[in-house]
Amino acid sequence: MTDRPTDFSKLPSYTAPRRSIFSARKFALMASVVAGLGVATYGLTPSNNFDLLTTTAHAQVNKEVRQVQQPVGFADIVERVKPSVISVRVKIAEKQVSSDSADNGDNPFPPGSPMERFFKRFGGPDGFPGGRGGRGGRGGGQVTGQGSGFFISADGFAVTNNHVVDGADKVEVTTDDGKTHTAKVIGTDPRTDLALIKVDGVSNLPFAKLSDGQPRIGDWVLAVGNPFGLGGTVTAGIVSARGRDIGNGPYDDFIQIDAPVNKGNSGGPTFNTEGDVVGVNTAIYSPSGGSVGIAFAIPASTVKSVVQQLKDKGSVSRGWIGVQIQQVTPEIADSLGLKKTEGALVAEPQPNGPAAKAGVESGDVITRVNDLPVKDARELARTIGGMAPGQTVKLVVVHKGQDKILSMTLGELPNAKQAKADTDQNDDGGGKATRGSVTVPNLGLTLAPATSVAGAGKEGVVVTNVDPNSPSAERGFKEGDVIVEVAGKLVSTPGEVREAITAARADNKNSVLVRVKSGDSSRFVAMPVAKG
């Protein structure tokens, strides 16, 4: 009997098995996973053999990486410009410190002194050897400070800040290669905080070029200097803003940068990516004393003008027209019938000054100097200050609603006077109420003729009382102020003030322009006119 396999299909109970499609798919999926793992394992196993699949993939990735633009660094620029930057060390004979300086925190210098300004900006405590006292040793008799600067010529001329070298008895500079030289101060300009110094007996020094153009907001910049005595420090950032006014003076026109700048960077350069100096670092905004990403630099255009004059004659001469000016606010523009809040409002021309001689009057708005538009009062100050004394200029002014062209010869800015916007309104008045005082309810002022108040002069009406809840109080009126003019008309009695306000209300004006004298300064104030 031959043994044969049993044919189960012949059995009565047999049912043919169904082919499973799921099982076939599952098998194929498992097979592909196993194959993939095998390839991956082969590719990760150290071997001298090459797998065709992995070699092609890596080649493609490498090719794509090479095509991506790599990040641009600043090493080439720094290598070229860094040798022109110097560390500046000053020594000042120690002066007697006033007794009230003990309340000045870590600042060991008298209030208002040059070194106090240095300390507040970029000086100690870390900028001074000997610790937090600022003295260079026990009984040394000298105070030392540090800043930065940079050469602008191969024969040793260098730029730094005025507040770095102001009052210095000795100035030393250390170059990038570690050599120390004695420098002398050629000239300083406190109004722009610039100084020119000179190292003698040297030649072929590396120097930086001042930029001919203006930086754009968003441009990369590099700050190089001597923060906290760490010479040759480089930081990078961008131009954050231009034309900043930080209240430093009438010629503020700073570049704001966010490159980290700290104490000791003062006087150092800010470079653009072409290696040209676009500004000189001069101030930081720092509640904590360290960099918070807000620093200010003097534009290269200003540096060029100032440094050339310092080099030629050791000082700076500026044009002067002799006016007290102020901003044109929306209220003032409405009172004068101006379409735009632009120009510089003349509060008062100084007697016998160039402007007065040319016919400029109080209430005029200067809108152009030659072909240059005047945006505001500070722009007028910068424009005139950048011109040479003796130069003839044409002014376009709005006089009683009409354009008027005047020609004048600029004078020279006196040491004690500046063509600037009038911001000093803190002079205390001495007016006192008298029998002739009259209250003007709409203004919240009590007024008296100037002739009835001792020491008030003969012109205008004196403010003898101010309602603290009135519009006048909100606009800075105080006792002792003298109202000279209302709505373009001179006034000498409280009644004339009332009449001018009544006339303005009848003309449906929203405000009336009042000229006020506080001490030696004048200003215009737009007062709202109550209706009904």
Q: Which residues are catalytic?
A: 163, 193, 266
The candidate with the shortest Cα–Cα distance to 82, out of 277, 245, 302, is 277
Cα–Cα distance measured from residue 450 to residue 461, given in angstroms and rounded to the nearest whole number: 5
Contacts of 460-467 with CB under 8 Å at 24 or more apart are 460/484, 460/485, 460/490, 460/491, 460/492, 460/517, 461/491, 461/492, 461/493, 461/494, 461/496, 461/497, 462/431, 463/429, 463/431, 464/431, 464/432, 464/433, 464/434, 464/437, 465/433, 465/437, 465/439
H/E stretch holding 222: strand 220-225
Cα–Cα distance measured from residue 336 to residue 326, given in angstroms and rounded to the nearest whole number: 14
The candidate with the shortest Cα–Cα distance to 154, out of 189, 104, 119, 201, is 201
Q: Which residue bears the tokens 């210098």?
A: 109
Cα–Cα distance measured from residue 487 to residue 507, given in angstroms and rounded to the nearest whole number: 12
Angle among Cα 137, 139, 141 to the nearest 5 degrees reads 90
Phi, psi of 215 (to 5 degrees): -70, 155
Q: Which residue bears the tokens 């503020």?
A: 252
Cα–Cα distance measured from residue 239 to residue 246, given in angstroms and rounded to the nearest whole number: 16
Q: Which residue bears the tokens 């209300």?
A: 505
- Give the burial string for 462-474 (b: 16+ CB within 10 Å, else e): bbbbbbeebbbee
DSSP secondary structure, 364-400, as one string: -EEEEETTEE--SHHHHHHHHHTSPTT-EEEEEEEET
Q: How far does Cα 513 stand from its chain's mean position?
A: 32
Strands 254-257 and 233-244 come out as antiparallel
